[in-house]
Structure 1
Amino acid sequence: MTDQGAAAPRVERDTETGVAVVTLDRPERHNALTPETAAELAWLWRQFRGDDTVRAVVLTGAGDRAFCTGIDRTAEVPQPSSPYSVEDPLLTVGPKANDLWKPVIAAVNGMACGGAFYLVGECEFVVAAEHATFFDPHTTYGMVSAYEAIAMAQRMPFGEVARMSLMGTAERVSARRAYEIGLVSEVVPGEEVVAAAVRAAATIAAFPTEAVQGTVRAVWSAKEAARTQAMAQAQHLVALGNADAARQAELFAARGRGDGFRTR
């Protein structure tokens, strides 16, 4: 299902605990996603729906530099000519987009930025390494942060979402600050981040699965209506506000990945 440049996510299942660990496995590309790896993830979430041996999932990224940096800028994403038909290859990358209501815990080790929020935004909670950082580069490169901002608005105070979305690569949110504002539920040393997430997942997986999945659905239903309304506008905001591809490439070349940023 993947091409040579898009390594499939690694999956480790522990049938005794009921926990599966999914690892984005492109550390040389900061675990950036291609349409092929996004399709692999969507396929995995759907497989987990019917796999009774998997009762909870941990999602992480290979290495300690990045959890995920969104879409790989070298990936080709063909688009129709009409702005009303623009397709986002990451819209179906998350567990909830694939109707998976088993709990998913993100273990963030390093950077989580941009399109990573499609994944973080659909996990039940986040365990972060002490050196983890969160930021949204879209505005820096002449792009609208729509889906990402909407996902984070379900988890963070309004002002914090606005600040992160608007500051682009100029500022990164530290793991400690992310904990203070509620984006992260636990901060641990980097070498412990996956183990900490697995411990939490194993605890949840040991409880009756119907009760767990019903609770997951209840929690998400609390914000479902507002999220659905916001998502309906996102495509048009992106189509109207994004700079053209040439301008985006020019800005990316000029600004890189955010040299000179500050962390708070």
Structure 2
Amino acid sequence: MRSGGGGLSVGIDKDTGVGVLTLDRPGKLNAIGLDTAAELAAAWREFRYDDTVRALVVTGAGTRAFSTGIDRDVEVPQPNSPYMVDDPLVAIGPKANDLWKPVIAAVNGIACGGAFYLLGEAEFVVADETATFFDPHTTYGMVSAYESVYMAQRMPVGEVARMALMGTAERMSARRAYEVGLVSEVTSPGGALAAAVECAAVIASYPAEAVQGTVRALWLAGEAGRAQALAHAPQLVSLGNLPGERQASLFSGRRPGFRLR
């Protein structure tokens, strides 16, 4: 097991060939800062060269959250152009780092916003009964572009639209996420990580060439449409996002409470 300074812990079981990446900032609901984003990218790329690791699980520490996405305390200066956007989370997923080993997401508690970059690049998602999913962008004057594209690969467009447009007013339960295809298995509270690791161990026991070829084939099925949609995301974000101070005002004045469905 090793821990990075930005809030990522990595554990490897050489016997089973399973690696576990844990977002390890439970006090911040596993929000992803710039250091953690860089650590995630580096870890995925390192695993490309480690043949002892044949399947991976990504999860969040503690019981309250898988991740709430980008750490809002981090300031990311943006170019003064609608054609250039610096997205600090654009390379936090395995596929963005050219890793084609299978990745399973184990979700406990809240998964929202930028967490969808990780869920969107996992092969499938296991969640416990406490898990909830929502996209807060529109509530705070931000365009849900990357997140909506990733979720549109996982569940019906109408469900994605409802999640993106309802913002913080509504959260999707683990059971509903299972019904619409975002989640492949719902476990008892606290059981998602063990269930995901068990699946990963089975997959890791199979010939790596066949597994990785299958992963690549699955992603090829939707790659053209996904790549085309993501290519438009920077301009949509740049043109549609409110200025940072307006976003901060909406965030600080947010209303408590939400509907769970």
Please indicate, yes or no, whether the TM-score normalized by the shorter chain is above 0.5.
yes
Q: Does 1:260 align with 2:257?
A: yes
Runs of 5+ consecutive residues of structure 2 not aligned to the other structure: none
Q: Does 1:161 align with 2:160?
A: yes
Distance in structure 2 (CA, Å) of the matches to 1:50 and 1:20: 13
**Alignment-derived partner of residue 80 in structure 2:** 81
Does the Cα contact within 8 Å between 2:6 and 2:33 map onto a contact in 1?
A: no
Distance in structure 2 (CA, Å) of the matches to 1:212 and 1:67: 26
Count of matched residue positions in the alignment of Structure 1 and Structure 2: 258
CA-to-aligned-CA distance 1:131-153 (integer Å, 9 cap, x gap) = 10000000000000000000000
**Alignment-derived partner of residue 119 in structure 1:** 118
Cα deviation, residue 199, structure 1: 0.2
Distance in structure 2 (CA, Å) of the matches to 1:181 and 1:252: 29
TM-score (structure 2 length as normaliser): 0.97
**Alignment-derived partner of residue 55 in structure 1:** 54
Q: Does 1:135 align with 2:134?
A: yes
Task: Give secondary structure in 1 for the equivalent of 2:191.
Answer: helix
Q: Percentage identity across aligned positions?
A: 69
TM-score (structure 1 length as normaliser): 0.96
**Alignment-derived partner of residue 92 in structure 1:** 91
**Alignment-derived partner of residue 224 in structure 1:** 223
Runs of 5+ consecutive residues of structure 1 not aligned to the other structure: none
Distance in structure 2 (CA, Å) of the matches to 1:192 and 1:234: 35
Does the Cα contact within 8 Å between 2:105 and 2:122 map onto a contact in 1?
A: yes
Distance in structure 2 (CA, Å) of the matches to 1:8 and 1:244: 28
Counterpart residue identity of residue 244, structure 1:
P
Counterpart residue identity of residue 176, structure 1:
R
Distance in structure 2 (CA, Å) of the matches to 1:149 and 1:44: 25
CA-to-aligned-CA distance 1:65-117 (integer Å, 9 cap, x gap) = 00000000001212222232220010001000000000000000000000000
Counterpart residue identity of residue 56, structure 1:
A
Distance in structure 2 (CA, Å) of the matches to 1:36 and 1:87: 15
Counterpart residue identity of residue 261, structure 1:
F
Give the 5 Å matches for 1:169-208: 169-208=168-207
Counterpart residue identity of residue 14, structure 2:
T
**Alignment-derived partner of residue 251 in structure 1:** 250
- Deviating beyond 4 angstroms after TM superposition, the runs of 4 or more aligned structure 1 residues are none
Cα deviation, residue 215, structure 1: 0.2
CA-to-aligned-CA distance 1:176-210 (integer Å, 9 cap, x gap) = 00000000000001221111000000000000000
Does the Cα contact within 8 Å between 2:29 and 2:64 map onto a contact in 1?
A: yes
